[in-house]
Amino acid sequence: MNALKAHVENGRIVVEGSVDLPDGTALELDLRVVDDEDELDETERARLHEALDRAIDSARAGRTVDADQAIRRVLSRS
């Protein structure tokens, strides 16, 4: 089963949507608080998406660097 989205309401966990499990099914939950907020404003977010689009286009055009080579370059700067 995939992860479920839920929220807390009046001290109880409320699952968003439905689940296809029989009534009485015992579950063990590992909780992780999701932080949907970040510190980007709309202009910064647009710039990030433009940079990601350029990077994807570059990779599709074959302009890539071997990961080991890139790591060696970064480590040689320290």
> What pLDDT, on a 0 to 100 scale, did the predictor assign at position 1?
53
Report how far residue 53's alpha carbon sits from residue 15's, in angstroms, rounded to the nearest whole number: 34
Phi then psi for residue 7, to 5 deg, are -140, 165
pLDDT bracket for residue 74 (50, 70, 90): very high
Q: Above 80 in pLDDT, residue 2?
A: no
pTM over 0.75: no
pLDDT digits (tens, 9 = 90+) for 16-69: 988 888 999 998 888 888 777 788 888 999 999 999 999 999 999 999 999 999
